[in-house]
Chain A
Amino acid sequence: MTATIGLLGVLLVVASSLGLIVQGYRAMREPSRATAGHLKRPVGGIVAGSVIAMLALEIGILGDDFSIEYIANNSASTTPLIFKIASAWAALEGSIVLWGLILAVYVYTVYRQVARLGRYDHLGGGALLVLGVICLFFFGLMLTVSNPFRVCVEASTVGCSVGTNLPWAESAAALEGTGPNPLLQNHILMAVHPPMLYLGYVGMAVPFAFAMSALMLGASGTEWLKRTRGWTLVAWGFLTIGIVLGGLWSYEVLGWGGYWAWDPVENASFLPWLTATAFLHSSVVQERRGMLQAWNFVLVIATFALTILGTFLTRSGVIASVHSFTQSAIGPVLLWFLMVVLVASFGLFATRVHVVASSPRLDSLASREGAFLLNNLLLTVFASVVLVGTLYPMFVEAFSGDQVGVGRPFFDRLAIPLSFGLLLAVGIGPVTPYRSARAPVVWERIRMPVQLALGAAALAVVLSYRSPFLLLGILTSTFVVFVILRNLYHSAKKVAQKREVPLPGAVLRTMRNDPGYWGGQISHFGVALLALGIALSANMSVEAEVVLAPGESANVAGYDITYVEQFSRQEPNRFVIGAEVDVSRDGRLISRQEPRLNRYGTSTQSIATPAVDESWSGDMYLSLKSVGPQSVTLGVWWFPFIWLVWVGGLVTGLAVLWSRLVRKPSREPAHAARATSDDT
């Protein structure tokens, strides 16, 4: 029953997507009030159908309906509530449903804008046409190779062994489900990280759709950029937060003492982030100076294609990781879709680029435009490093059957210098004037930050921390922080003098006067904190492996780690064995920690859950490696100031809120912030 309703929802979306393609095409050719009205029904159908599908899946999961194959194999009656809800996107088929729901929400927001603009909106109609095609593809997946509502026809004692796509088949239900993958029911972030990432991934479809529409219409200019800036920013913010939360999850759950391993799956989320970040910056150049028009199309197509590639990498089983659970038929289909997207969009681009792009040339490399170009160059090269490093082993294996390894040392070696270059650009770029910058002007703006950054690095040397990467990290990241603070102080001082208001009020006023610019600066501030956190926690960390008998202590980084006793307990969904460990300093107890090994349901694999004693000066990170009758083996890490990584990352993403929500305190009505319809 639930399965049938869910499938009907999917069918409704498929039919409505076809309708949206037809009506979007008509609205693109001859927009009128009537065509805008005709868009309403298909958009409504897409939203309603995708909500029905998601609700049906969740209701099935919450009601332990094990006659649905997906639920029998990814949930269990003993799974705690929050992980039951999250198991709707814990595996392939369900995650496509979430993907579809988010896409539907974005389609609705685009429709709202199109309906408001009404009869002159060629561009919006075309964008909805493209979104209709994307909807058709993803909901088509749910009817065929990735059906979350497959009926179970042969139940095992636990879980389902055979399912069918036919909803009217005689169903069989197991008494109990297998539960989610153990790694995915270990931490609350599992409920948050995937939706954030998907909100980011899927949101990139909107600028892509508008870009395609502009190409189909041969519409030059910046309208498509201006109209989609909001979506691009919001999607980018979600993607940023999703990636940061993914790193935090890896740190809190996997217990290997790190947060980023250049795993192909991490790279899959990082790739569109890199190109989207480049796009955010290069679109500013086009809006302000009319340059880089063709390049912006390339970036937006690349970003969308990389989100599809990322879905393929994580969900097809080509790589072995926690994200790709099973070999599935969806892989080749996604690969074909990726090919079609690439050929169609770059084909369209190649035939129309001369119509839409006629860029003025760069006056001087030493200018804000030059800094933006440097930023784009570095981000694009960064993306090429990650792309090549991720795909190359797969290509070699696919064509020769041999394995080659490309891992952390390769990525680190190239990513670290690129990151230092990016940080320098982040510092200097925003205080460099447009068109042509004279060196004395720029030097005046960065002189004091350079001096302060030297002071910070000198302090590290005096404290006898002399790793070159640490010093470079401190120099570049504190430089960025001080440039931003100096810039804010000077701008605010001018406002304070002009309006005769106190400085704190003037700071706020300055930042509200140009939310776009200052949103960007907040984001840069976050990037600098993140970089500082990486530099400090990586280069000043202390690592040890200790074997302790009960009552025994070891000293790591000035802390005493004492093994008190072993414990074990049976919980509804797992068996837990762990160690009580006291963390103390100078004889004073700081906290008692419980690093654990968990065994879930029928699984024989033990999942380590690290315990982390967090403080402002750093994290004492304890991971249980093995438990014996006489002793335990503990991995102990000291990560100084690692909270800067999480805080910096979240600030980077949340800065979007400043750009989007803060309105200019102006005397004239805020028409400038609206999407413009003055293109005709």
Chain B
Amino acid sequence: MTPDVRKVIRWIVTTVLAGIVVAGFVMGDTRPEDRVASLGASIKCPVCQGEAIVDSPSPTAKAMMDVVEEKVAAGETDQQIIAYFQSRFGEGILLDPPFGGRTLLVWILPVLAAGGGVWMILSRRRVPDATQTGSP
């Protein structure tokens, strides 16, 4: 085989593999989405030490998981279920802080840190030719 032929075969194989992987992403997960578990992971067990109700063996957490299961079976949305627990136990019950209100800063501060870091790196770069930049 000549090097050219080898190169072509290599690219065909690579393209096919990439195609399979892309198809995998497009088709998405084969496992059914476990809404009960993911909701359970975002609600804190009120009587435990910082555990989610899905992880905790305590009776309270178990009872709350049962409620989650019932509500999911009854067709309620994630937001409705979360809102139900929040209204009963307060904001402290949420392990997934909402983007807004009192927990907005939790989301914004890391973004600010990232922005500051990018700015520091870019501002310390040796600019190759100053005349080429500037026009918006």
Contact = CB atoms under 8 A, between A and B. Distances in A.
A473 to B, nearest CB: 13
Nearest to A451: B14
A465 B29 CA distance: 7
B84 to A, nearest CB: 16
Contact of A405 (B13, B24, B93, B125): B93
Contacts of B95: 405-410
Contacts of B118: 377
B28 interface: yes
Contact of A361 (B10, B14, B125): B125
A405 B92 contact: yes
Given A377-B121, A608-B57, A405 B97 contact: yes
A638 B69 CA distance: 22
A408 B91 contact: no
B28 A402 contact: no
B126 interface: yes
Contact of A388 (B10, B49, B110): B110
Interface string B75-115: 00000000000000011111111000011011001100110
A320 B17 contact: no
A676 interface: no
Nearest to A264: B50
Contacts of B103: 392, 404, 406
B6 to A, nearest CB: 13
Contacts of A396: 102
A123 to B, nearest CB: 27
B42 A384 contact: no
Contacts of B67: none
A381 B114 contact: yes
A389 interface: yes
B4 to A, nearest CB: 16
Given A380-B117, A403-B91, A465 B57 contact: no
A466 B32 CA distance: 11
Secondary structure at the B interface, as helix, strand, loop or mixed, is: helix
A471 B24 contact: yes
Contacts of B25: 466, 468, 471
B55 A409 contact: no
Contacts of A680: none
A321 B49 contact: yes
A618 to B, nearest CB: 16
Contacts of A261: 50-51, 55
A402 B102 CA distance: 10
Contacts of A59: none
A462 interface: yes
Contacts of B117: 376-377, 380-381
A454 interface: yes
A458 B15 CA distance: 11
B74 interface: no
Contact of B96 (A363, A385, A409, A464): A409
B102 A465 contact: no
B44 A458 contact: no
Contacts of A365: 121, 125
B73 interface: no
A333 interface: no
Given A458-B21, A461-B23, A451 B42 contact: no
Interface residues of B, number: 49
Contacts of A462: 20
B18 interface: yes
Given A407-B44, A409-B96, A466-B27, A454 B18 contact: yes
A427 B15 CA distance: 21
Interface string A290-325: 000000000000000000000000000001110000
A475 interface: yes
Given A363-B126, A381-B113, A457-B21, A407 B52 contact: yes
Interface string A396-437: 100000111111111001100000000000000000000000
Contacts of B110: 381, 384-385, 388, 414
B41 interface: yes
B30 A465 contact: yes
Nearest to A359: B124
A625 interface: yes
Contact of B30 (A257, A381, A407, A464): A464
Interface in A439-486: 450-451, 454-455, 457-458, 460-462, 464-468, 471, 475
Nearest to B31: A467
A625 B113 CA distance: 43
Contact of B29 (A256, A455, A457, A467): A467
Contacts of A407: 42, 44, 50, 52, 95-96
A361 B28 CA distance: 45
Contacts of A543: 37
Contacts of A409: 41-42, 95-96
A230 interface: no
Contacts of A408: 41-42, 52, 95
Given A410-B106, A451-B17, A466-B24, A402 B57 contact: no
B51 A388 contact: no
Contacts of B16: 458
Which residue of B27, B30, B96, B102 has the most chain A CB atoms within 10 A of its CB atom? B96
Nearest to A321: B49
Nearest to B102: A404
Given A384-B110, A404-B102, A410-B97, A454 B17 contact: yes
Contacts of A404: 91-92, 94, 97, 102-103
7 contacts: A321-B49, A363-B126, A405-B93, A407-B42, A409-B96, A451-B17, A471-B21
Given A364-B126, A405-B95, A608-B57, 9 more contacts: A261-B50, A377-B118, A380-B117, A396-B102, A404-B92, A407-B52, A460-B24, A466-B30, A471-B24
The list of the 4 closest CB pairs from A to B, nearest first, reads A403-B92, A407-B95, A461-B24, A409-B96
Interface of A: 255-258, 261, 263-264, 319-321, 359, 361-365, 373, 376-377, 380-381, 384-385, 388-389, 392, 396, 402-410, 413-414, 450-451, 454-455, 457-458, 460-462, 464-468, 471, 475, 543, 608, 625
